[in-house]
Amino acid sequence: MKKYSRKLAALAAAASLALTGTLAGCSSANNDHKIRIGIKFDQPGLGYQDGSQYTGFDVDVARYIAGKLGYSEDQIEFVESPSANRENMLNNGQVDMIFATYSISDSRKKTVDFAGPYYTAGQDLLVRADNTDIHGPDDLNGKNLCSVTGSTSAQKVQDKFAKNVNLVKQNSYSDCVVALNGGVVDAVTTDDIILAGLAATKANKGKLKVVGAPFTTERYGVGLPKGTDKCEAVNKAINEMVADGTWERLVTKYTEGTGYHYNTEKNPPSPSASCA
Ligand code: GLU
């Protein structure tokens, strides 16, 4: 009897091992492992931290893609990735992926890979609601303009308008908004969807307005370490997200009530299989 139950226990252990192996084999993610995803923490509607909650279009797109790669919600660890730190964070292994209003650019592609794009925005201007003389980048002569260190927004202004504009660089767009509300700068520049989210917060509503004349094309990519083998799987997941209606639902959810409408000629993007 004793011998029989020992045998049974051994059989049960072997069966459970085999089952664990099969389950692990089903998923592309190791159940013990977390995936660290870089997002912004202070861009309402895109990447926003509120206590232990993370919300925004980038955050929910990241959740969807991670799910398609086999990660459950509790395997995701969100890590703040400010504009200037994104390439470094991918290169030194602090994050596995970045979803942070991260424009695909040739200079960034020298050090990181991009899947996507999953969204196309355009650079615009944010001014105080009572402003009447700034309608586009050509009206910025002699003005103080705020943008963020390490962003394509600051780079483009420097390349195109540096001679006539006094560029004030901050670490985040929320810091730029403080400077705008305080009268320290005349305008803030970055992507239209970011500016719309900032202007729509309770604190800023009615005080700030987006000019609404985008002057660049910003293709948001999923930042990945150089040499990644994940582009194909991520791009497949992005195309599924568009096809099953999730993309439209998420854009609507996070821009509703801001007065912002995405550019329907450039959205939704349809990434090809390989890296962007
Ligand atoms: N999309 C631009 C960039 O990647 C501006 C937004 C940002 O700084 O995250 O630089």
Q: Please report, for the domain that includes residue 131, its CATH number.
A: 3.40.190.10
For a ligand 1 pocket test, name from 98, 101, 111 the mutation site with the most ligand atoms within 8 angstroms of its C-beta.
101
CB contact at 8 A, 116 and 274: no
Predicted TM-score of the model (pTM): 0.88
Residues 109 and 224 in one domain: yes
Residue 25 falls within a domain, yes or no?
no
Residues 40 and 167 in one domain: no
Residue 20 lies in a domain: no
**3 CA to centre of ligand 1 in angstroms:** 68
What angle is formed at CA 41 by the lines to CA 38 and CA 47, rounded to 5 degrees? 75
98, 228 in Cβ contact below 8 A?
A: no
SS (H, E, C) 80-111: ECCHHHHHHHHHCCCCCEECCCCECCHHHHCC
Q: What is the 83 CA–ligand 1 centroid distance (Å)? A: 6
Give the range among 28-42, 181-195, 214-228 with minimum mean pLDDT: 28-42
Helix (H) or strand (E) holding 115: strand 112-121
Confidence of residue 42 (pLDDT cuts 50, 70, 90): very high
Report the candidate in 228, 179, 184 with the shortest Cα–Cα distance to residue 204.
Answer: 179
Structural domains in the chain (count): 2
Domain containing residue 192: 122-209
Q: Are residues 186 and 202 in the same domain?
A: yes
> Whose structure tokens read 């959205």?
267
Same-domain pairing of 103 and 146:
no
If you measure from the C-alpha of residue 8 to the centroid of ligand 1, how many angstroms do you get, rounded to a whole number?
A: 60
**pLDDT for position 117:** 98
Residue 101 Cα: closest atom of ligand 1: 9
Q: Do 176 and 147 touch, CB atoms closer than 8 A?
A: yes
Same-domain pairing of 44 and 170:
no
Q: What is the pLDDT of residues 59-100, one digit of tens each?
A: 999 999 999 999 999 999 999 999 999 999 999 999 999 999
Query: Hey, whose CA ends up nearest to atom 10 of ligand 1?
Result: 151
